[in-house]
Copies of this chain bind each other. A is one copy, B any other.
Amino acid sequence: MGKKVTFSEAKSCPIQFVLALNDTLNVITGKWKLPIIGTMLFNKKRFSEIQKIIPKITPRMLSKELKDLEMNGIVKRTVFDTVPVTVEYELTDSAKALGKVLDKMLEWGLQHRETTLSGSND
């Protein structure tokens, strides 16, 4: 855990940096990942709760994305031995730290809209 590296330095020692950048992209790209993460920002959620919050997502996609996010260390899945089973999803600490990234993305996006996109509405 150590020295802070910047994007510009990436050119000199790319492989692990490329992988790290890629990891970050993987957990925020796609139509549903951010919406799903958003539902869990302040509380753990159950499958059906997420479905209620994001009505347009199909169970297939929600299931797939949750598995994906779990495999990537973004959500923790806890199964309770009730009948029928109860399953809770919550963000990992690492996922919560994503806020810093999203803040920067938001900041850039707003700046970009102010400066260069002013006029176009897409």
Contacts and interface: CB of A to CB of B under 8 A. Distances in A.
Interface string A94-111: 100111111111111111
The count of identical subunits is 2
A98 B7 CA distance: 10
Contact of A6 (B38, B72, B103): B103
Interface residues of A, number: 48
B94 A116 contact: yes
B101 A1 contact: no
Interface in A56-112: 72-73, 92-94, 97-112
Contact of A108 (B1, B97, B111): B97
Contact of A7 (B99, B115, B117): B99
